[in-house]
Structure 1
Amino acid sequence: MIDLHRLRVFRAVVADGSINGAAATLGYTPSAVSQHLTVLQRETGLSLIERHGRGVVPTAVGRAIAHEAGRVLESMAEFESFVADVRDGHTGRLSVCYFASAGSAWIPPIIATITTEFPGLRIDLRLVELVVDATPDPDIEIFVEGSPLATSTEYDVHPLLEEPYVVVLPRDHRLADRAEIKVSELEAERWVDNDVARGPCREATLRACAAAGFMPTFHIETHDYATGIRFVAEGVGITVVPVLGCGQLPPTVIAVPLVDPTPTRRIAVRTRATLRSNLAVARVLELLRDHIAIGRLEAGFAGTQST
């Protein structure tokens, strides 16, 4: 196989018309340049240069080889640029997996920024609830600690935040004017379940209730936070959700922080270890932290209550 580096050396000699001049340009010794030319002629089985006075000139075959080598090296430069873009995240594909409430709060603005800054990158978005066993592991996954995760690929894990829960009540509820509500005060309420999958988010609520000395009685079972909140808006009962799960509350309900104890869930993001130098991945992590920091700057639970 012909060595591409020797083609570069050969073209430098042809362009300069001198082994010594090419050596000075390349930062090599003249003997090293001569050796590259000798090996290249042996690899090709062709006579590529000949002496002319104190310099060298390409043979007719050598001129043709130099011309074709230029095309090859130009294509290789484009290929290397493409590889660099893929490595840095400027092109190619990036898969991002997330759970529903994170997807609603964070994913749209983050992906809007990424598609603007990395227009050649294709983003494959996956809602974790819809992922099946045959789905390849994602490049980036936002998850709640305690969720089952595939372990077939090495990942770096980055903690994001510990998120508190609130209780969503009708605005005319007896506790709706409180600044905060003790978990024990909800024992006699009609509870609306919002996670029939019984995942780690639901377990955080059950642990807090157990610490308060009771287990909630769920009168309605729903599959997600939005549906559970709609039932509260209809006066069916109350529901407990993490702050991100509140979304845009209906005008007839209000979200109040819980205490004694405050249920919480830990959210983290994992990224493929092989993408540590990927600029798009780094940018996603930066944007995630920015959105979380903005949320923390908001006073109290501003944004969870409908006005």
Structure 2
Amino acid sequence: MCYMLDVRRMQVLRAVVTSGSVTAAAAHLGYTPSAVSQQVAALEKEAGIALLERAGRGVRPTAAGRLLTGHAAVISQHVASAETALADLRAGRTGRLTVRYFASVGPTLLAPAVARLRRDHPGVTVEPRLSGAEDPEPEVAEGRADLAVVVRRPGEGARAGVRLVRLRDDAYRVVLPVGHPLAARRAVDLADLAGEPWVGSEPPGPCLEPIAAACAAAGFSPRYAATSEDYATAQAFVAAGLGVGLIPRLGLGARHPGVVVRRVRRPEPIRTIHAAVREVSATEPVLRALVDALLAG
């Protein structure tokens, strides 16, 4: 026989057994004695066995009644624990966030935000994971990540179910070898780099597109003498005299002693960094706190 026992009725039974009286249980629960009796009768029908027997003016549990009363107590404890855990999650006191990010924002943008979140929400666990070559936004859409730090073109929308929160514009700077003739300037016109050999620092994708678009607007296409998808290596190539390069400000936390960094203008290449979150989760306290920490960074 397969039992389908109603948890609410089990809790009514527990109240009757604890008080030893249907009337007392009804007063405690805020029910009428008739309603309590009906709940117990329905539970006995579900269980297929008597759960209470008369004892003077009150009632006492049968063996089956004592068994279910014990389980009802355990269930009540689990329900109370679940309610407490849910309240903590709603209030942002607990939780777990899986974050995808790309390398250059790890130490400069994400790490300070995580530190702030851990300070303000010590019960929250954050799991940062470096993104590969693939766009991490689908992981957010599919619920495999709670937040992804991504670069998007101006006006580019998100996929269905994902919200993009603009975090900051990250301007590119020109990196020149020490002693280069343009190093004496405070700002370098992009067109002045047209005849230079270039060191590439970005892979194909949204971070390279602002560079290509700005160079096209300045009337040329870069001639790459060396490429690297690592900013430290790109700086070393520039210091070695292989060419000049453009690196975003967030990628220049550690500067090579053999290079100088100058602002670029006319035009200034800029990549726009966003946080991608699921629409259904965007207002959750812990996720909102992380987005706020990223915005404050």
- Residue of structure 2 in register with 1:305 after alignment: none
1:115-126 to 2 correspondence within 5 Å? 117=121, 121=125, 123=127, 125-126=129-130
* Alpha-carbon displacement from aligned partner over 1:47-94 (angstroms, at most 9, x marks no partner): 222344554333344233312321243345445656777786835x54
Amino acid in structure 2 at the alignment position of 1:178: R
Counterpart CA distance in 2 for 1:264 and 1:160 is: 13
Counterpart CA distance in 2 for 1:228 and 1:26 is 72
Task: Give the aligned partner of residue 227 of structure 1.
Answer: 233
Answer with 214-223 or 1-10: which moved more. 214-223
Q: Please state if 1:70 is matched with 2:73.
A: yes
**Counterpart residue number, 2:133:** 129
Identity %: 36
Provide the C-alpha distance between the structure 1 equivalents of 2:229 and 2:102, rounded to a whole number of angstroms: 13
CA spacing shift, 1:241–1:122, aligned 2, 3 Å: closer
1:199 aligns to what? 205
The TM-score with structure 1 as length reference comes to 0.79
Report the secondary structure of 1:106's partner residue.
helix
Q: What is the total number of aligned residue pairs between the two structures? A: 287
Q: 1:150 to 1:258 in 2, by over 3 A?
A: closer
Contact 2:215 2:221 in 1 (8 A): yes
Aligned to 1:172: 179
Deviation at 1:239, TM superposition (A): 0.8
Of 37-46 and 215-224, the range deviating more from structure 2: 215-224
Q: Deviations over 1:282-307 (max 9, x none)?
A: 2321221121xxxxxxxxxxxxxxxx
Once residues 34 and 156 of structure 1 are traced to their aligned partners in structure 2, the CA distance between those partners, rounded to angstroms, is 52
Q: Which residue number corresponds to residue 182 of structure 1?
A: 189
CA distance in 2, matches of 1:74, 1:210: 67
**Residue 98 of structure 1 contacts residue 128 of structure 1 at CA under 8 Å; is this kept in 2?**
no
Change (3 A) 1:80 1:286: same
1:298 is aligned to: none
Q: What's the counterpart of residue 58 of structure 1?
A: 61
Give the C-alpha shift of residue 124 in structure 1.
Answer: 5.4
Map of 2:17 onto structure 1: 14
Matching residue of 2:268? 262
- Is 1:30 matched with 2:37? no
Deviates most, 78-87 or 170-179: 78-87
Shift in CA distance, 199/118, structure 1 to aligned 2, threshold 3 Å: same
Q: Deviations over 1:7-41 (max 9, x none)?
A: 11211222223333333332333332222111111
* SS across alignment from 2:216: helix
Q: Distance in 2 between matches of 1:201 and 1:173?
A: 26
Write the distance in 2 (CA, Å) between the matches of 1:30 and 1:257.
81
Distance 1:118 1:42, change over 3 A: farther
Q: Given that residues 118 and 280 in structure 1 are in contact (C-alpha distance below 8 angstroms), is that contact kept between their aligned partners in structure 2? A: no
Give structure 2 stretches of 5+ with no counterpart.
Answer: none
Shift of 1:4: 0.9
| 2:147 corresponds to | 140
Among candidates 271, 277, 289, match of residue 277 of structure 2: 271
TM-score (norm 2): 0.81
Structure 1 pair 61–219 and aligned structure 2 pair: CA distance change class (3 A): closer
For the Cα contact (< 8 Å) 2:236–2:258, is it kept in 1?
A: no
